[in-house]
């Protein structure tokens, strides 16, 4: 078909096409019908397949073990009162504060500190059993850097916040879809296969993900 004929047909179609009307009733949230499963068991299975490490012991014990294993000497964290099950933040390693200074020199020094950040400690708003994914939302007392830049990420997940899938979470009245400055869906450690299709962990984010179910 000649280009001019093709464009003429497109022009004719645009002039005469009628878009379908919207349905008279709101169809509501689309939630897939999936077989019943134990949500915690399914979540652990899928998260471990994606190279996350799952813990069910007290949060403080996991953080202490992680600090020893990776020789951690600094960390970024949410405020302790934003993390379910956490009694207090670790007092051994140095906490990197995320409030950005106003001066140019101060901002440069502050941003450079993120390059060597070793550990991030956050809560988790929700999780999806179908994919082993956790939902991390940033906001006051919940810096987004804690889940994006450290070598190791420890996320604390209340077991009652595990949903069957992302659709089930979105349909739940408790889902705060429009709140917060940033929402990240995290499925295992950061990974890429850009070079020769070889999967490499930790290139664009944390290399190790530990999820504590409380």
- Give phi and psi for 164, each to the nearest 5: -65, -40
**Cα–Cα distance measured from residue 158 to residue 170, given in angstroms and rounded to the nearest whole number:** 17
145 alpha carbon, distance to own chain's centre? 11
Segments of the chain scoring below 50 in pLDDT: none
- The encoded tokens of residue 1 equal 């078909």
Burial zone of 108 (CB within 10 Å; 0-12 exposed, 13-18 middle, 19+ buried): exposed
Quote the pLDDT of residue 33. 84
Whether 185 and 135 have beta carbons less than 8 Å apart is answered as yes
Quote the pLDDT of residue 205. 87
The string of DSSP letters for the chain reads: --HHHHHHHHHHHHHH--PPPPPSS-------------HHHHHHHHHHHTT-EEE-S-HHHHHHHHHHHTT--EEEE--GGGSTT--S--SSSEEPP-PPPSSHHHHHHHHHHGGG--EEEEE-SEEETTTTEEEEEEBTTB-THHHHSSSEEEEEE-GGGEESSHHHHHHSTT--TT-SSEEEEE-SS-EE-TTTT--EESSSS-SEEEEEE-
CATH for the 37-213 domain, from 3.40.50.10420, 2.60.40.10, 1.10.357.10, 3.20.20.30: 3.40.50.10420
Quote the pLDDT of residue 23. 59
Quote the pLDDT of residue 28. 59
**Cα–Cα distance measured from residue 175 to residue 8, given in angstroms and rounded to the nearest whole number:** 48
- Which pTM value belongs to this model? 0.82
**Cα–Cα distance measured from residue 27 to residue 12, given in angstroms and rounded to the nearest whole number:** 33
Quote the pLDDT of residue 133. 98
Whether 35 and 81 have beta carbons less than 8 Å apart is answered as no
Residue 208 forms beta bridges with which residues?
152
């Amino acid at each position: 078909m000649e280009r001019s004929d093709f464009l003429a047909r497109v022009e004719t179609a645009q002039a005469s096409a009628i878009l379908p009307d919207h349905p008279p009733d709101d169809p509501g949230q689309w939630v897939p019908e999936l077989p019943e499963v134990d949500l915690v068991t399914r979540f652990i299975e899928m998260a471990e397949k994606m190279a996350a490490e799952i813990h069910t012991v007290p949060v403080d014990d996991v953080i202490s073990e992680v600090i020893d294993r990776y020789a951690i000497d600094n960390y970024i964290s949410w405020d302790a009162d934003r993390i379910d099950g956490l009694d207090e933040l670790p007092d051994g390693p140095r906490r990197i504060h995320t409030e950005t200074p106003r001066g140019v020199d101060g901002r440069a020094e502050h941003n450079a500190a993120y390059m060597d950040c070793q550990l991030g400690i956050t809560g988790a708003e929700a999780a999806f059993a179908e994919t082993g994914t956790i939902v991390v939302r940033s906001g006051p007392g919940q810096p987004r850097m804690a889940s994006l830049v450290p070598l190791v990420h420890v996320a604390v997940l209340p077991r009652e916040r595990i949903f069957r899938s992302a659709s089930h979470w979105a349909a739940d009245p408790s889902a705060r879809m429009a709140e917060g400055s940033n929402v990240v869906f995290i499925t295992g450690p950061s990974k890429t296969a850009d070079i020769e299709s070889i999967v490499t962990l930790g290139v664009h984010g944390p290399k190790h993900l530990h999820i504590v179910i409380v």
